[in-house]
Amino acid sequence: MENSTSGLRVGRRCSSITFLWHAIVIFLIVLISTTSRAQTQQSARPMGADPKPEPAIRAILAAFDKYEVVAMPEDHGLKDLDDLIFALVRNPEFPAKVNDVVVECGNSLYQPVLDRYIAGDVPLTEARKVWRNETQPICGVWGFGFFEQLYPLLRAINQKLPPEKRLRVLAGDPPIDWNQIRNFQDILKLGPRDASIASAMEKEVLSKHRNASCYSELFIYST
C-alpha cells in the first residue's frame, strides 16, 4: 500500500514537472514568435515612419521642397481647418513655394472667368458661378462662406506680387453647363470627377513642372 502511495506521489510529481515544462516551452514559443514579428515589422517599417509633431504651416511649406503636389482636405465647415488654410495662404513664403491652387469644388467651364477674377478684372458677383454652378450641390452647404473668403484672399495676394510670381487658381470639377442638362444621363456623360481633377493637374501643373497646393477638396502646386 505504501509503495502504491509513493508511486502515486512520484507520478504526480512527474506530471507536474512535465506540465511545467510544456508551459515553459509554450511561453517561449509565444515570446519568440511575438519578438520575431515585432522585429520584422520594425525592419519592414520605412525610414521616417514614426512622425514627430512640428508646426503645421512650416511642415506644409517644407513639403513643397520635395513634392510638386501637396494635398489638403478642404474645410467641410470645420473652422479650425479654415483658419489653418487661410493662415497658410497668408504666409509670406506661400507665393514663393506655390504656383497653382487647385480647388475641387469649382466648375472648370468657368476657368476663364476665374482667371479674370483672380487677376482683378471681374467682380466677385461674376466669379461666384465658379463654385455655385458645379456638379456637387453639397459644396454649397459648407463651402460658400469658405470660398468667398479664399478667392478674394488669393486675389489680394496676387495684387501685391510681380506678374511672374502670381498664383493661378484652377477649378477641378467637370465643366458642366446646367442649361444643357436635361436628365441624370447628361450628368453621367461628364465622366468621373476624379478624372477631371487629375486632368487639370496633369495639364496645367505637372506637365509644366509647376507646384500646386490641392484642396481636395483643395489642391496646391509649386515649381
Would you state the pLDDT for residue 58?
93
Would you state the pLDDT for residue 191?
76
Cα 29 from Cα 27, distance rounded (Å): 5
Q: What's the 3-state SS for 1-57?
A: CHHHHHHHHHHHHHHHHHHHHHHHHHHHHHHHHHHHHHHHHHHHCCCCCCCCCCCHH
Contact yes or no for 86/154 (Cβ under 8 A): no
Cα 109 from Cα 100, distance rounded (Å): 18
User: What Cα–Cα distance (Å) separates residue 159 from each residue in 88, 151, 213?
Assistant: 18, 13, 19
Cα 34 from Cα 168, distance rounded (Å): 53
Residues 7-34 have pLDDT tens digits of 444 444 545 555 555 555 455 454 455 5
| Higher-scoring residue by pLDDT: 161, 30 | 161
Cα 142 from Cα 140, distance rounded (Å): 6
Would you state the pLDDT for residue 80?
85
Contact yes or no for 147/129 (Cβ under 8 A): no
Would you state the pLDDT for residue 75?
55
- How many C-beta neighbours within 10 Å does residue 115 have? 16
On the question of pLDDT at 110 being above 90, the answer is yes
Question: Helix, strand, or coil here: 219?
Answer: strand
Secondary element (H or E) of residue 72: strand 69-73
Binned at pLDDT 50, 70 and 90, residue 218 comes out as very low
Question: Residue 139 — φ and ψ, nearest 5°?
Answer: -60, -30
Binned at pLDDT 50, 70 and 90, residue 121 comes out as very high
Residues 37-95 have pLDDT tens digits of 555 555 555 555 677 788 889 999 999 888 888 887 765 667 888 899 999 999 999 99
| Higher-scoring residue by pLDDT: 158, 39 | 158
Would you state the pLDDT for residue 10?
43
